[in-house]
């Protein structure tokens, strides 16, 4: 644990530019709320404390911060005001305070560490008794800096951060942008905050004004430079889409580096928590929702959609298969096209290769599920389980009415509707018997032809 570090994550803004009833930081990136990405980066630093700042009506945001503490900012009066709201939760903490924004999900622990190092490095004109710089802010260069505050430098020192709408024409030409992450000397923080004013275009208390205040007191401020792609701030739906694209690109590279073959990487969608074993092969246009784990040597063919699924080693899935939570495939299981599984365990070596719905099921090892099989798990009120033993054979187009238990090595011929338990080694039919009428086809054909001819004369 880093006892000299506390992190404040701001998430109390109104997020008006999203035009959404959902708080901005709960919009998802790679399958999880954007705030989870920010928290994961903060947690990687092992700080003594993480405090989230939330709005009073945002219980869902506070819940997303759990188990970390939250402070409430009564009204969104600016990023500086939000940090003031967090101060009581820090108590007499006097180490470094890292302020992060909840709307910047691509941030990495690596950059946060670099920023802390810059803050702690002794400034050239150090005031007596003061450790390091008053603060260090993270910046990046952008070809389109319009959405961001700009760094005004004096030589290498940071002397001011100015928001676009408060900037002069010359300042608007600056391409060095404020990323929104700031490492501040915690001992100086309360004093600096107490001097904040809201004389600006938005009538807000800007955190960025701490720079001018510190410089006015004779302390130095510094900055570190990062990549624009890492500090994309999400204020609009278009920026949300851009962040999603950047996160997907990052996750794909990470998967390939870990030994996964992506046949057409740009079409594969991953979640932040997707986990792959070695030598996995993924076809084009596969979507991984949250909670998917893929074992070694698995092949997932094109156009599959998976969420909440655990896929055992060397299983083959797809093309066009769907797995819903909570699905488990045993080793070397096969799931083919247009098969949907939900809350079902298809055990090792079992197969469901064509057109089936398998909901709330437990299917024994090496059992074969025929084309068109339906687990009838829902009676309109409740969901029921279908359990099938090992080495069974379920013929095509069977309807298995749950709750139902079918024993080991049972054989169910095609087209059966099975509603009673079947003991091991039985053959269980459940369909109308076939009736044969020898020689009757020619007569039937003549009758139908005559009827068609009469109709065409009318």
Query: Which residues are annotated as catalytic?
Result: 354
Which range of residues in 72-80, 293-301, 310-318, 388-396 is near ligand UD1 by CB under 6 A?
72-80
Size of the site for Mg ion (CB under 5 A): 3
Q: Which of 123, 233, 283, 389 binds Mg ion (CB under 5 A)?
A: 233
CA distances for 371 relative to 375, 396, 415, angstroms: 12, 5, 10
Applying the rule CB under 6 A, the residues between 84 and 123 that interact with ligand UD1 are 101-104
Cα–Cα distance, 94 to 287 (Å, whole number): 46
Cβ-based nearer residue to ligand UD1, 237 or 383? 237
Q: Which of 108, 235, 348, 353 binds Mg ion (CB under 5 A)?
A: 235
Cα–Cα distance, 438 to 255 (Å, whole number): 63
Q: Which of 5, 7, 8, 12 binds ligand UD1 (CB under 6 A)?
A: 12
Cβ burial of 238 (10 Å; 0-12, 13-18, 19+) is: exposed
CB atoms within 10 A of CB 393: 16
CB atoms within 10 A of CB 337: 15
Which range of residues in 218-226, 229-237, 385-393, 446-454 is near Mg ion by CB under 5 A?
229-237
Q: The dihedral of CA 313, 316, 317, 323: what is its sign?
A: negative
Binding mask 137-176 for ligand UD1 (x = CB under 6 A): -----------xx-----------x-x-------------
DSSP string, 305-358: EE-SEEE-TT-EE-SS-EEESSEEE-TT-EEEEEEEEES-EE-TT-EEEEEEEE
Identify any residues that bridge with 160 across adjacent strands, giving them in sequence order.
152
Q: Which of 78, 318, 361, 389 binds ligand UD1 (CB under 6 A)?
A: 78
Residue 164 CB, nearest approach to Mg ion (Å): 12
Cα–Cα distance, 28 to 23 (Å, whole number): 11
Cβ-based nearer residue to ligand UD1, 69 or 331? 69
Q: Which of 33, 226, 233, 277 binds ligand UD1 (CB under 6 A)?
A: 233
Choose from Mg ion, ligand UD1, none: what does 70 bind? Cβ within 5-8 Å by kind. Answer: none
Q: Which of 6, 41, 42, 82 binds ligand UD1 (CB under 6 A)?
A: 82
Cα–Cα distance, 360 to 269 (Å, whole number): 26
Residue 139 CB, nearest approach to Mg ion (Å): 15
260-293: b or e for each residue (b if 16 or more CB lie within 10 Å)? Answer: bebeebebbbbbbebebbeebebbebbbbbebbb
10 is an interface residue for ligand UD1 by CB under 6 A? yes
Applying the rule CB under 5 A, the residues between 68 and 127 that interact with Mg ion are 103
Record the tokens describing residue 219, joined without a space: 């302390």
Q: Which of 79, 343, 344, 373 binds ligand UD1 (CB under 6 A)?
A: 79
213 is an interface residue for ligand UD1 by CB under 6 A? no
Question: What residue ranges bind Mg ion (CB under 5 A)?
Answer: 103, 233, 235
Question: What residue ranges bind ligand UD1 (CB under 6 A)?
Answer: 10-13, 53, 73, 76-79, 81-82, 101-104, 148-149, 161, 163, 177-178, 180, 206-208, 233, 235
């Amino acid at each position: 644990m880093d006892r000299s570090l506390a992190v404040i994550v701001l998430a109390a803004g109104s997020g008006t530019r999203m035009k959404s009833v959902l708080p901005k930081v709960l919009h998802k990136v790679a399958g999880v709320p954007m705030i989870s990405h920010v928290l994961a980066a903060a947690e990687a630093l092992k700080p003594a404390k993480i405090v989230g700042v939330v709005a009073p009506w945002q219980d869902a945001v506070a819940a997303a911060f759990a188990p970390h503490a939250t402070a409430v900012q009564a009204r969104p009066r600016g990023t500086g005001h939000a940090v003031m709201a967090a101060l009581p939760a820090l108590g007499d903490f006097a180490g470094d305070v890292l302020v992060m924004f909840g709307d910047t999900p691509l941030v990495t622990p690596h950059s946060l560490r670099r920023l802390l190092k810059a803050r702690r490095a002794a400034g050239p004109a150090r005031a007596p008794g003061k450790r390091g710089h008053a603060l260090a802010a993270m910046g990046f260069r952008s070809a389109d800096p319009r959405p961001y505050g700009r760094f005004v430098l004096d030589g290498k020192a940071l002397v001011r951060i100015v928001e676009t709408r408060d900037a002069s024409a010359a300042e608007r030409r600056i391409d060095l942008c404020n990323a929104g992450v700031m490492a501040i000397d915690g001992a100086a923080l309360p004093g600096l905050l107490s001097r904040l004013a809201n004389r600006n275009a938005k009538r807000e208390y800007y955190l960025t004004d701490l720079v001018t205040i510190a410089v006015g007191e004779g302390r130095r401020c510094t900055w570190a430079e990062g990549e624009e792609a890492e500090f994309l701030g999400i204020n609009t739906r278009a920026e949300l889409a851009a962040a999603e694209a950047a996160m997907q690109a990052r996750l794909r590279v990470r998967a390939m580096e870990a030994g996964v073959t992506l046949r057409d990487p740009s079409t594969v969608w991953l979640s932040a928590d997707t986990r792959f074993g070695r030598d996995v092969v993924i076809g084009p246009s596969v979507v991984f929702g949250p909670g998917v784990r893929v074992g070694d040597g698995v092949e997932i063919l094109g156009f599959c959609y998976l969420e909440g699924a655990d896929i055992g080693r060397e299983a083959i899935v797809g093309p066009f298969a769907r797995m819903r939570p909570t699905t488990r495939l045993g080793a070397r299981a096969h799931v083919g096209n247009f098969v949907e599984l939900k809350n079902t365990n298809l055990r090792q070596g079992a197969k469901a290769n064509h057109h089936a719905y398998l909901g709330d099921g437990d299917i024994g090892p090496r059992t074969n599920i025929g084309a068109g099989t339906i687990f009838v798990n829902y009676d309109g009120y409740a969901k029921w389980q279908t359990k099938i033993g090992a080495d069974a054979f379920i013929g095509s187009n069977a309807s298995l009415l749950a709750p139902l238990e079918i024993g080991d090595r049972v054989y169910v011929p095609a087209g059966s509707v099975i509603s009673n338990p079947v003991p091991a080694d039985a053959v269980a039919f459940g369909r109308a018997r076939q009736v044969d009428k020898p020689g009757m086809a020619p007569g039937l054909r003549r009758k139908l032809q005559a009827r068609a001819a009469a109709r065409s004369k009318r």
